[in-house]
Structure 1
């Protein structure tokens, strides 16, 4: 029973803790946000009638709505209106990334701004137009008017609102706060100002403002949240599907425009299928360079809504290897073979090239020998006496080289590994010595091949080899009456010697008479 009582107490504590959570805390995780990038103009009634509610209700409402737009390139402006000559641009159009400037404007409106005057709406809408002209460009604009009364300049206000919607392509929304007796008249005005009764929100008092935030965010937000596909191949023909919300908000009867921006290059295309609230399908242009593409959409064919969503253009070509990846400089292959995929995509055969680059930056550019989708054959350049690393890249379009860089090592494989024989008795007849090694035919200059023998006196004997192969050279030997060390060097170009100097020993192998009895005695033992 004690355990049951304890359990009941625990449950009551948990329930009490949950009860203490405010509705705002619980719903905060589900509050709507918007990823769209457009310009948002708050046009705030600052007439005398609004009084203290301006700082205690209107400004918190503005701050709350502003915080729901999360892209750092989203821009907002704060404009007030009251008397005909007293409309103020408190915050010029500013990116939400500049939180310091925005917070300063919010603090000013909440703490230092004093509403005063009548309700002339037209000057406030004119200030919106000036901001669009100065800072807006062709970015889409949204105007949200917040007022507690009836505009005294209704005819002028209607004209400026029509100009905003028509000439500037802005969407206009309004929140009207007032007693029930003026609600009907206010609603009539705001319907005309917005041009759409669905864009008007009416509340009897300022307590209405926190309740309508989520609804306004959902109504105003036009956003691109993703694109399918988000990565495509260079030069491919394809369609993209923009996923988002609010696409039917201000849709032109002819449909939207999709805009693709890559660096300084801009393409605009038109959907081939009907647009709905959450998807737009557009043909994409053929791109001639790789990188990220900025995506924008114009619903009204006047202004564009941007986003942070981009699409990557990839050349879709990869090189996985090259054969051979190394060779001796004297054994240069006629061709090297590259393996990979996607080589035929956007192929311009007359411009397809292989580029070899030496360590010192010297380049050799040669046309491709053959190409398939998975293999490329490149002729190899004659790099002379060069040994080291050759970087290899290819282009199949003539516009840019595939990013993958292959390394081919050109080795100096020349050298002498053995001389046979490397000693003999001077009485013996040795007509030739055979030098074994590698690279003997590398850089060979016909008629310059030579075998150079030298003895301790400094005398030299130079002969033309009877055989010169890459791994073998046969040299005639000098017929001299000499014992001791004899040096040998070989050259195939008359300039450089291969493998350094090798020493051959010619021995005196005769047995003297004075040594004979000793030798015989040793044999008998």
Structure 2
């Protein structure tokens, strides 16, 4: 009964599983019960990933909850595709049942083997699990997700586990001025050490700048921005949580622009008023109308026309 319910609910969630993103990311789907089965070997092909999700909807695992069998299949995939190298990877082990004593001990050993190959181990408990078991299997308590409301509630778990850069503030910065950017996204809480986080700014294949963030929370990080020397420069942002071993790409970018401060804008405005007064034979600071005169300060005219505010952005060549 539990297996049938899991199949139906997982099938609905699988249809919405996120497969878009970096083409450098490979996915693998493995099921386990008494034995482990590789439904989809590691691949970055999005069509194959979608097909693998379709296959998951048709599978009903039956038998024991032997998570160690699933870990062994995952380790095989890591060893096969990484050719013996220690390459960062992520294992998300999900269970909806309690592990018997020997299966639990075997799973602990297999999880440790996976970590030695560079894997980060996350666990997800979906009803019927033992919290102390899935906590012991995962890298840390921060890598444990307990879903109390069944598979339907897993969407928030997926968002929390997956690293994604969604936006940056500000999207436009001033040429020649020091600045910081705030990178927004998901999954930043999954880092193991803050000093292993890198903000990467990519101008082109030969110009790349790496910076360490000054602060991080679960959905944003503050990073010193690279120096921009001319308007129209653009760079794209990538993030690494493992000291540069892997980076997560994004389409989020920052562009440079020529900016003038309020003080510079006021000086430009006063020069403009003085020029107009001279050409129209007005006395600077006095406007004559209908036989009467009314003193108007050039500074007041400037403030009326361009009230002081944040730095004003001007296109190239504007401002005199």
TM-score range (shorter-chain normalised) is 0.5 to 0.7
The structure-2 alpha-carbon separation of the partners of 1:80 and 1:300, relative to structure 1 and needing over 3 Å to count, comes to same
Which residue matches 1:120? 66
Q: CA deviation at 1:194?
A: 1.7
Instruction: Deviation per CA, 1:96-134: give whole Å up to 9, x if none.
Output: xx3x434432333333x4535544323423444555573
**Separation of aligned partners in 2, 1:288 and 1:126:** 52
Which among 201, 215, 232 is matched to residue 146 of structure 2?
201
What is the aligned residue count? Answer: 255
The alignment partner of 1:52 has SS state of: helix
Q: Deviations over 1:304-334 (max 9, x none)?
A: 33333122357x59xxxxxxxxxxxxxxxxx
**Between 234-243 and 128-137, the greater mean CA deviation after superposition:** 128-137
Distance 1:103 1:306, change over 3 A: closer
Name 2:211's counterpart in structure 1. Answer: 269
TM-score by length of 1: 0.40
Q: Name the CA distance, whole Å, in 2 between partners of 1:79 and 1:164.
A: 15
* CA deviation string 1:233-255 (max 9, x = no partner): 67764322212344333241436
Which structure shows the bigger proportion of residues in strand conformation? 1
User: Which of 119, 125, 142 is the matching residue for 1:175?
Assistant: 125
| Residue pair 2:203, 2:235 contacting (<8 A) in 1 also | yes
Q: Alpha-carbon deviation of 1:164?
A: 4.4
Q: Is the 8 A contact 1:54 1:115 kept in 2?
A: no
Deviation track 1:310-362 (CA, whole Å, cap 9, x = no partner) reads: 22357x59xxxxxxxxxxxxxxxxxxxxxx649xxxxxxxxxxxxxxxxxxxx
Q: What is the CA distance between 1:191 and its match in structure 2?
A: 1.1
* Counterpart for residue 95 of structure 2: 146
Structure number with higher helix proportion = 2
Correspondence for 2:33 among 82, 93, 98: 82
Aligned mates of 1:131, 1:341 — CA distance in 2: 58
- Residue ranges of structure 1 left out of the alignment (5+ in a row): 1-48, 318-339, 343-372, 375-525
CA offsets 1:185-225 (integer angstroms, 9 cap, x no match): x332211112344523265xxx7222x22442453244322
State how far apart, in whole Å, the 2-side matches of 1:240 and 1:138 are.
Answer: 29
Deviations 1:34-89 (A, max 9, x none): xxxxxxxxxxxxxxx9643453233333334x14x6647576431122345x4314
Do the aligned partners of 1:194 and 1:200 also contact (CA within 8 Å) in 2? no
Greater RCO, CA 8 A, separation 6+: 2
Structure 1 Cα separation of the partners of residues 242 and 22 of structure 2: 24
Aligned residue for 2:241? Answer: 299
5+ long unaligned stretches in structure 2: 260-315
| Alpha carbons 2:201, 2:236 under 8 Å: kept | yes
Counterpart Cα distance in 1 of 2:67 and 2:184: 37
Alignment match of 2:131 (pick from 187, 193, 198): 187
**Whole-angstrom distance in 1 between the partners of 2:175 and 2:116:** 39
In 1, the alpha carbon distance for the partners of 2:210 and 2:26 equals 24
Match of 1:57 in 2: 9
Helix, strand or coil for the counterpart of 2:215?
Answer: coil
Distance in 1 (CA, whole Å) between partners of 2:219 and 2:50 is 33
**Distance change (3 Å), C-alpha of 1:215 and 1:109:** closer
The 2-side partners of 1:160 and 1:284 are apart by: 42
Change in CA separation of 1:72 and 1:256 when aligned onto 2, cut-off 3 Å: closer
